[in-house]
Amino acid sequence: MKVGVVTFPGSLDDVDARRAVNLAGGEAVALWHGERDLRGVDAVVLPGGFSYGDYLRCGAIARFAPVMTSVLSAAESGMPVLGICNGFQILCESHLLPGALIRNRERRFVCRDQRLRIENASTAWTSQYDEGVEVTIVLKNGEGGYVADDTTLDRLEAEGQVVARYLGDNPNGSMRDIAGIANERGNVVGLMPHPEHAVDDLCGPSTDGLPFFTSVLKELAKA
Amino acid sequence: MARVVVDVMLKPEILDPQGKAVHGALPRLGFEGVVAVRQGKRFELELDGDVTDDRLAEIRNAAETLLSNPVIEDYTVRVEQ
């Protein structure tokens, strides 16, 4: 199964995301922001970093990159798409996911091993977790505060679209401790923590992030 | 040449940590009596030719799609003479 990882100018974690895909048993394919061609991939990861220098707003300019035209239409027709950190910001700016991400409440860049609870194990990217399981995944962001109006938040909760929640101290002021959400269909997931940095005991706090990548491969094999 | 100014501000209910940081710095520097600070963005768009209703409508569209994120921000558009 081919999983594309988009590189924007300013992406940082594209290489780690490709490595995570390969470790999970998939075939990572590098995609370029300036090309519309998705090169026959079955799923797409929008990686972390500072696309276009975070100019204007995080993800605001990346949203209009040529590759995003193809990603948007593929996502709408059901292709699994995972946005990690800056990728999550891009998905919100694209309106593929509701809400927005704003500067951390405490105004500091946060970088730490974060405890999370996986709240929804039925999305394309989380099916290999046990629902309610607690995991440790690296978190690093300056603008990771998830905000949405109360109606949207209530809908996300009611429809089970909250995918992951922060445990312990809320690291960035995210409303209702939200660390990640999915669209209604469950094929598009946005996540502030970085599962691609938690796939190898040698250089991460755990391998708790790997199931994000094995989940999508399993999902694709089913289809 | 005409100039159109687009001001973008976070909606009142959205937390503004940058504004809060500025607010916290003011009294430390001896500037008293400021009860709140909100920080926004100002875009100055230089146009060739005159500002018509059509072009203003286009700029409003740009303000809504690119210059601001309507989920968290409000914008105003005005023509500067």
- pLDDT tens for A110-136 read 999 999 999 999 999 999 999 999 999
User: Is the per-residue pLDDT at A6 higher than 90?
Assistant: yes
Q: How confident is the model at residue A73, as a pLDDT? A: 97
User: Is the per-residue pLDDT at B81 higher than 90?
Assistant: no
Which candidate from B14, B15, B66 shows the least CB-CB separation from A60?
Answer: B66
- pLDDT tens for A87-105 read 999 999 999 999 999 999 9
Q: How confident is the model at residue A102, as a pLDDT? A: 96
In angstroms, rounded to a whole number, what is the distance separating the alpha carbons of residues A2 and B14? 39
- pLDDT tens for A137-184 read 999 999 999 999 999 999 999 999 999 999 999 999 999 999 999 999
Q: How confident is the model at residue A78, as a pLDDT? A: 97
Query: Residues A62-84, buried b or exposed e (16+ Cβ, 10 A)?
Result: bbebebbebbbebbeeebbbbbb
Interface A:B, Cβ pairs < 8 A: 35
Name the minimum distance, in Å, from the CA of B80 to any CA of chain A: 22
0.90 surpassed by complex ipTM = no
User: Is the per-residue pLDDT at A223 higher than 90?
Assistant: no
As annotated, the active-site residues of A are 85, 194, 196
**CATH number for the domain that contains residue A7:** 3.40.50.880
Full set of structural domains in chain B with CATH: 2-80 (3.30.1280.10)
Nearest residue in B to A93, CA atom: B69
Structural domains of chain A, count:
1
Query: Residues B25-62, buried b or exposed e (16+ Cβ, 10 A)?
Result: eeeeeeeeeeeeeeebeebebeeeeebeeebeeebbeb
- pLDDT tens for A51-78 read 999 999 999 999 999 999 999 999 999 9
- pLDDT tens for A10-21 read 999 999 999 999
Name the minimum distance, in Å, from the CA of A77 to any CA of chain B: 23
Quick check: pTM over 0.90? yes
Q: How confident is the model at residue A107, as a pLDDT? A: 87
Expressed as residue numbers, the domain containing A117 is: 2-222
